[in-house]
Structure 1
Amino acid sequence: MAKQNTPQHETSNPPDQVLKSIDGNDRAAIRRQTWRIAVPVIIANSSIPLVGIVDTAVMGHLDAPHYIGAVAMGSFILSLILALFGFLRMATTGFVAQAAGANDGAMVLTHFWRAISVAIILGLLTIMLIPLITFLASLTLTLSDAVSSGMTTYLAIVCISAPAITINMVILGVMFGLQRIRATVIQLITINTINIIGNFVFVYGLDMRVEGVALATAISHYCGLLVTLPMVISAIRNITPFSILPLHVILNLAAMRRYLGLGFDLTIRTSCIILSELIVLNAASAIDDVSLAASQIGFVIFATIAYPLDGFAHAAEALTGSAIGRRNRAMFNHTLRETTKLAIVMSMIMAILLALFGDAFINIMTSIPEVVEKSHELLPILVVMPVVSVIAFQMDGVFVGATMGRDMRNAMLVSMIVFLPLMYVMEIWFGLIGIWLAFMILLGLRGATLWMRLNHIRVIIE
Structure 2
Amino acid sequence: MSPAADTAPTSAASPRRIAGLALPALVVLAAEPLYVLVDTAVVGHLGRVPLAAVAIGGTVMSVAAWLGTVMAYGTTGRAARRFGAGHRAAAVAEGVQASWLAVAVGLALAVGLQFLAAPLARTLAGGGSDVADAAAQWLRIAALGAPGLLLAAAGNGWLRGVQDTRRPLRYVLGANVLSAVLCPLLVYPLGLGLIGSAVANVVAQTVSGVLFVGALVAERVSLRPHPAVIVRQLVLGRDLLVRGAAFQASFLSATTVAARFGTAVVAAHQIAVQLFFFTALVLDAVAIAAQSLVGAALGRGDAAGARRLARRITLIGGVCGVAFALVIAAGAGVVPSWFSDDPQVHGQAMIAWPWFVAMQPIAGVVFALDGVLIGAGDVRYLRNLTIVAALGAFLPAIWAAYALDLGLGGIWAGLTVFIVVRLVGLLLRLRSGRWAVVGAVRPT
TM-score of the two chains, using structure 2 as the length reference:
0.91
Higher mean C-alpha deviation, range 429-438 or range 282-291: 429-438
Partner of 1:124: 107
Once the two structures are superposed, residues 345-386 of structure 1 have per-residue CA deviations (whole angstroms, 9 ceiling, x without a partner) of: 111111001111232111111111111121122211111121
Aligned-pair CA distance for 1:444: 2.2
Partner of 1:156: 140
Higher mean C-alpha deviation, range 129-138 or range 168-177: 129-138
Change (3 A) 1:46 1:105: closer
Q: What is the alpha-carbon distance in structure 2 between the residues aligned to residue 458 and residue 268 of structure 1? A: 22
The answer to whether the 8 Å contact 2:64/2:146 transfers is no
Once the two structures are superposed, residues 183-221 of structure 1 have per-residue CA deviations (whole angstroms, 9 ceiling, x without a partner) of: 111122123212211211110111212111000000111
The answer to whether the 8 Å contact 2:147/2:209 transfers is no
- State whether structure 2 residue 409 is matched by structure 1 residue 433: yes
Higher mean C-alpha deviation, range 423-432 or range 288-297: 423-432
Aligned-pair CA distance for 1:82: 4.3
Partner of 1:10: none
Structure 2: which amino acid aligns with 1:138? A
- State whether structure 2 residue 435 is matched by structure 1 residue 457: yes
Q: What is the alpha-carbon distance in structure 2 between the residues aligned to residue 86 and residue 301 of structure 1? A: 18
Aligned-pair CA distance for 1:18: 4.8
The answer to whether the 8 Å contact 1:391/1:448 transfers is no
- State whether structure 2 residue 11 is matched by structure 1 residue 23: yes
Structure 1 runs not aligned, ≥5 long: 1-15
The 5-angstrom pairing of residues 8-407 of structure 1 reads 18-24=6-12, 27=13, 30-62=14-46, 64-141=47-124, 142-143=126-127, 145-234=129-218, 236-237=219-220, 242-245=221-224, 247=225, 250-252=226-228, 255-407=229-381
Q: What is the alpha-carbon distance in structure 1 between the residues aligned to residue 115 and residue 380 of structure 2? A: 30
- 3-state SS of the aligned residue for 1:205? coil
Partner of 2:389: 415
The answer to whether the 8 Å contact 2:150/2:209 transfers is no
Once the two structures are superposed, residues 390-445 of structure 1 have per-residue CA deviations (whole angstroms, 9 ceiling, x without a partner) of: 23211221122122322221111111112222223344263220111101111222
- % of aligned pairs identical? 25
Q: What is the alpha-carbon distance in structure 2 between the residues aligned to residue 122 and residue 44 of structure 1? A: 22
The answer to whether the 8 Å contact 1:392/1:448 transfers is no
Aligned-pair CA distance for 1:81: 4.0
Q: What is the alpha-carbon distance in structure 1 between the residues aligned to residue 297 and residue 373 of structure 2? A: 12
The answer to whether the 8 Å contact 1:186/1:228 transfers is no
- 3-state SS of the aligned residue for 1:219? helix
Higher mean C-alpha deviation, range 110-119 or range 300-309: 300-309
Once the two structures are superposed, residues 251-305 of structure 1 have per-residue CA deviations (whole angstroms, 9 ceiling, x without a partner) of: 33xx444311222221121122132122111111101000000000101221333
The answer to whether the 8 Å contact 1:290/1:370 transfers is yes
Q: What is the alpha-carbon distance in structure 1 between the residues aligned to residue 339 and residue 396 of structure 2? A: 32
The answer to whether the 8 Å contact 1:134/1:152 transfers is yes
- 3-state SS of the aligned residue for 1:367? coil
The answer to whether the 8 Å contact 2:398/2:411 transfers is yes
Aligned-pair CA distance for 1:53: 1.8
Q: What is the alpha-carbon distance in structure 2 between the residues aligned to residue 195 and residue 301 of structure 1? A: 19
The answer to whether the 8 Å contact 2:77/2:375 transfers is yes
Once the two structures are superposed, residues 5-47 of structure 1 have per-residue CA deviations (whole angstroms, 9 ceiling, x without a partner) of: xxxxxxxxxxx975344235xx4xx211101011122233333
The answer to whether the 8 Å contact 2:76/2:157 transfers is yes
- 3-state SS of the aligned residue for 1:366? coil
Aligned-pair CA distance for 1:108: 1.6
Aligned-pair CA distance for 1:158: 1.2
Change (3 A) 1:363 1:414: same
Change (3 A) 1:122 1:459: closer
The answer to whether the 8 Å contact 2:118/2:132 transfers is no
Q: What is the alpha-carbon distance in structure 2 between the residues aligned to residue 140 and residue 429 of structure 1? A: 20
The answer to whether the 8 Å contact 1:262/1:403 transfers is no
Aligned-pair CA distance for 1:58: 1.2
Change (3 A) 1:114 1:43: closer
Aligned-pair CA distance for 1:310: 1.2
Q: What is the alpha-carbon distance in structure 2 between the residues aligned to residue 134 and residue 120 of structure 1? A: 20
Change (3 A) 1:86 1:143: farther
